[in-house]
Amino acid sequence: MSESKNLQETGKKEEAGILPAIVSGLKKDLGPALEEIEVKDVRIGLAYTGVLLSENYGGVACTPLYEFSGCPTPGFAVSLKGKTADGLLEFALSENPLEAAVGIATANALSHMLSDLEPKNFPVSNTDVLELIKPEDRVAMVGYFGPLVPKILKITGKLTVLEKREIEDPETITLPSEKAKDILPASDVIILSASTLANRTFDELLSFRRAAREVVLLGPTTPLYPAPFFERGITAIMGTRIIDPLTMLTVVSEAGGTKKLHQYCGEKVAFRKSEQKGK
């Protein structure tokens, strides 16, 4: 195969990836205004990374500390505060997981702004993830959502958790994430942690879905920007809208997790593919 053909195929693969699609989509939808949106603050906490933009919009993404064997450091050459949102959004494409987290948090904040500008294009759903599971379903959970496990087991006993970390949970089968290629193709419902965006495993994991009836992207890291996800086979995205960005910065700085985000500064928001116009 020629070098030029290799480069063309690599380019097509990159364009097909979820993060390039989110970045290009937000750039297209927000247009030149994106260059005028100022970054007011960035916090990289132990649990979440938070970004505050002008007009009081904030977004978060999980801080992928487990991706590093030593002391994690981003490659930012200068302070991010005072930069424009278009520059920070590009960090979502970085190979450095911490930089990617900043970019995804920025995408999250921008998705909130866009939904306020064009609310008719963002019809929210009242569907809960548990409502998508039937008693006969084989459920695969990629990333350990502790509070969800016992609730799912009340519906179906066929739950497998795929997780990078060692999890001690006698109630369910927990396997290393490398087993995804064996478990996901046989699953009826797949619940993907949105942390798979920052660690760049989302696209590969999604390729294992086969005939799954439901594929849900879950967690506060989820950009509330449905179209690119629905185009790739995700059936529902369930994330968190930051409604009090200044408090979010404090929660992030104090190593607050998902529970504190929802308690003090965020609200759950869902989008369902089947409930979208024309779907």
* Domains identified in the chain and CATH numbers: 3-121 (3.30.390), 129-244+263-275 (3.40.50.11590)
Least confident span in 11-15, 28-32, 109-113: 11-15
149-182 pLDDT per residue, tens: 999 999 999 999 999 877 777 778 889 989 999 9
Give residue for tokens 């097909």. Answer: 16
Angle at 102 between CA 100 and CA 107, to 5 degrees: 90
Please choose, from the candidates 164, 26, 13, the residue with its C-alpha nearest in 3D space to the C-alpha of residue 105.
26
Please choose, from the candidates 108, 107, 90, the residue with its C-alpha nearest in 3D space to the C-alpha of residue 99.
90
Beta bridge pairs of residue 269? 239
Length, in residues, of the chain: 279
**pLDDT computed for residue 1 by the predictor:** 46
Q: Which is more confident, 69 or 253? A: 253
Q: Which amino acid is at 129?
A: V
129-145 pLDDT per residue, tens: 999 999 999 999 999 99
Q: Is beta strand 139-142 parallel, antiparallel or unpaired with respect to 189-193?
A: parallel
243-273 pLDDT per residue, tens: 999 999 999 999 999 999 999 999 999 999 9
Give me the percent of the chain exceeding a pLDDT of 90. Answer: 78
Strands ordered across the beta sheet of 57-62: 39-44, 48-53, 57-62
pTM of the model: 0.89
Residues 6+ apart with CB under 8 A from 240: 60, 219, 220, 222, 258, 261, 262, 266, 267, 268, 269
Q: Tokens representing 59?
A: 């977004």
Q: What letter does residue 174 receive in the DSSP assignment?
A: E
DSSP letters spanning 41-81 = EEEE-SSEEEEEETTTEEEEEE--GGG-SS------SS--T
Q: What are phi and psi of 229, to 5 degrees?
A: -75, -45
Q: Tokens representing 86?
A: 């278009």
